[in-house]
Structure 1
Amino acid sequence: MTEDLALELAGTIRHDGHGGVADDLTVADGLTGWVRDRADRLGSWAADFTADEETHTRVLALRAAVRALFARAVLPGPPSPADAHRLLPFDEALRRVNAAAASVTVTLELEWRPDGAGPTARTTPAPVPAHDGLPAALARATVDFLAGPHRANLRACTAPRCVRYFVQGHGRQQFCKTSCGNRARAARHYERHQNERPR
């Protein structure tokens, strides 16, 4: 599903496994690989995509906006600690996503299927260079995600040092992955035993 791209874009900032935060898109080559890995959802152009510095900068700015909007969406829960101290103001984040989404013209067409199933609507983006189309596609995925049914289940992982957002699959799910749940239980166990030791 294309709206998953918004969650995946936000997830390019992640726990590095050593107590810090990793950024999969630190350099333009990281964006190149990330886009090519998602060619099945972005379109045929993505298989040969090579990020330039301008597109890289635009996608990083969009990602900051997406993470700020995700932080707003999880309220009253806490945002991801990766950027909670430096989130974009809500109005700026909203402006960035909407501007990127509007940067490519989309045509709405009515199709009448010959099998008797009746009419369907189809949107077709105007042909644009991949470097212009990528931020628009990611922004539209964000709009689809935040305006869709999954937003209500968006959560920030509460495991120590995790910085990801995830869609809660069931009411008791607190962590994005099993490994985060294991890490949280280990941290609680350690803290409990530290508090039980005589001073």
Structure 2
Amino acid sequence: MSRIPLPPAPGADQYVSLALVNSVVALPGGQRADELGSPEDATRWLIDHGLVPEQTALLAYCQNQLTGLRGHLRSLFATHVQGEAPPRRSLDEVNRALTKVPSASVLRHHPEGGLRREPEHPLTRLVEHAMAQVAEDAAALLTGTDAPQLARCAAPPCDRFLLRTHARRHWCSTRCGDRVRAARAYARKQDRPTPS
């Protein structure tokens, strides 16, 4: 697996579930890039997306839980885009992530700021809480007003998803769009008769 940095797809800054689904991508030449490829990578991804505290360090077991959720979300997103019924197992696993931890924020008092609502997540359950937040975000995306804009990148072999901001947007990044345009230009060039 390659460690090529992935440009964010449209909507990934708005929906953390879209960012998680797109944290793995098929690349030309049979390569794959995976932002969760190791426990350290998965930890950094969660920290960068504000889902766990800075001092967090995940074990391989936690990384596997997160990549498992990603796989189930990818299935839900793909069937949604295709207009098909989702796989029962994926639906069950996302619902399990949604309900595994308490969703109500507790009331806390801070001397400098007074009362505040905060999620409670003991250190032993950080990943479950992060997964619940991602699953909640995915449920909001798949059932909300942005659901019809969810699309798959149209630049093979890329398998990422995006929110189509306008009807002409078909690619998850400029890189994918440039690759498709270059392939089209090359194909047109090959079809031209050679001058004699």
Which TM class, normalised by the smaller chain length? Answer: 0.7 to 0.9
Instruction: Quote how far apart the aligned CAs of 1:107 are.
Output: 2.6
Q: CA deviation at 1:103?
A: 0.4
Number of the residue aligned with 1:172: 168
Taking a change above 3 Å as real, the CA distance of residues 123 and 190 of structure 1, as seen in their structure-2 partners, is farther
Is structure 2 residue 127 aligned with structure 1 residue 127? no
Give the secondary-structure state (helix, strand or coil) at the position aligned to 1:155: strand
Identify the residue that residue 45 of structure 2 maps to in structure 1.
34
* Other-structure match for 2:132: 136
Q: Give the Cα–Cα distance (whole angstroms) in 2 for the partners of residues 152 and 175 of structure 1.
A: 16
- How big is each residue's C-alpha offset from its partner over 1:39-93, in whole Å with a ceiling of 9 and x where there is no partner? 2xx3xx432221112211111110000100110111159xxxxxxxxxxx71111
Conservation of the 8 A alpha-carbon contact between 1:69 and 1:94: yes
> Separation in 1 of the partners of 2:100 and 2:144?
21
C-alpha distance in 2 between matches for 1:48 and 1:9? 21
- 2:183 partner letter: A
Find the aligned partners of 1:126 and 1:27 in 2 and give their Cα distance. 26
Report what 1:10 is aligned to: 21
Name the counterpart of 1:106.
Answer: 103
- Name which of 150, 154, 157 aligns with 1:154: 150
2:94 maps to 97
Deviation of 1:157 (Å): 0.6
- Identity of matched residues, %: 29
Deviations 1:78-113 (A, max 9, x none): xxxxxxxxxxx711111110001100112389xxxx
Cα 1:130/1:108, change in 2 over 3 Å: closer
How many Å separate the matches in 1 of 2:62 and 2:53? 13
How large is the RMSD of aligned CA atoms in angstroms? 2.7
CA distance in 1, matches of 2:146, 2:57: 31
Unaligned runs of 5+ in 1: 78-88, 110-121
CA shift for structure 1 position 18: 5.5
Alignment of 1:45-124 (within 5 A): 45-75=52-82, 90-107=87-104
How many residues align? The count is 171
Divergent runs of 4+, >6 A:
none
Q: Provide the rounded CA distance (Å) in 2 between the counterparts of 1:64 and 1:76.
A: 18
Provide the rounded CA distance (Å) in 2 between the counterparts of 1:125 and 1:147.
24
